[in-house]
A and B are shown apart, each in its own frame.
Chain A
Amino acid sequence: AQTVTQSQPEMSVQEAETVTLSCTYDTSESDYYLFWYKQPPSRQMILVIRQEAYKQQNATENRFSVNFQKAAKSFSLKISDSQLGDAAMYFCAYRSQRDDKIIFGKGTRLHILP
């Protein structure tokens, strides 16, 4: 079975600095999708960025980018120029190409220090 591991329960970063959230996953499949979701306190979970496993190029969305290492099964999220609004729980997630459901990691709570 696929698993997603986020080894950092909490992290803090100074406003305007860069932070990287780690994620590793385990799968025997070659085609799949990876996601980072953001869940602000008491607010809706939203998709931050997604990566198709067949694409070598790392996905980028404005200040958010990923470092996808397929062989190492690693999928880290880099947030540049951190803003107070980035404070949230971040979930790394995996989806098989053959399955309807997404598997989530346990999350990393990110604090932004003013």
Chain B
Amino acid sequence: DAMVIQNPRYQVTQFGKPVTLSCSQTLNHNVMYWYQQKSSQAPKLLFHYYDKDFNNEADTPDNFQSRRPNTSFCFLDIRSPGLGDAAMYLCATSRDRVAGYTFGSGTRLTVV
């Protein structure tokens, strides 16, 4: 089945140690998104790609970066994770502006 896959499902990293979360899709959607969701809060958009065009949200910390090497894959890099970066990270894709999102299952990041 076509879908959005996030790996790993759970990630534990040390304070200050770089970590990469991955997302892949078989939907061939143009747009890919990374959201941060803290407990019982709305998902917060970090950035998104429309094809290869990168769009960063103004309030996304510099600590967060992203790469999209091809249509299928998108990565979230956290250069120096702090305790405040512990959250669920959601990847989503969208065919175009009319369609809604298709979400992955998320990666829950714990910082120790």
Contact = CB atoms under 8 A, between A and B. Distances in A.
Interface in A72-114: 89, 91, 93, 95-102, 104-107, 109
Contact of B31 (A35, A46, A97, A100): A100
Contact of B97 (A35, A93, A99): A99
A33 interface: yes
A48 to B, nearest CB: 10
Q: Is the interface of A mostly helix, strand, loop or mixed?
A: strand
A106 B41 contact: yes
B94 A100 contact: yes
Which size class do B's interface residues fall under? 20 to 34
For the side of the interface on A, what is the size category?
20 to 34
26 contacts: A35-B100, A37-B100, A37-B101, A43-B105, A45-B103, A46-B103, A47-B100, A47-B101, A47-B102, A50-B100, A89-B40, A91-B43, A93-B100, A99-B97, A100-B50, A100-B55, A100-B97, A101-B33, A101-B45, A104-B42, A104-B43, A105-B42, A106-B41, A107-B40, A107-B41, A109-B40
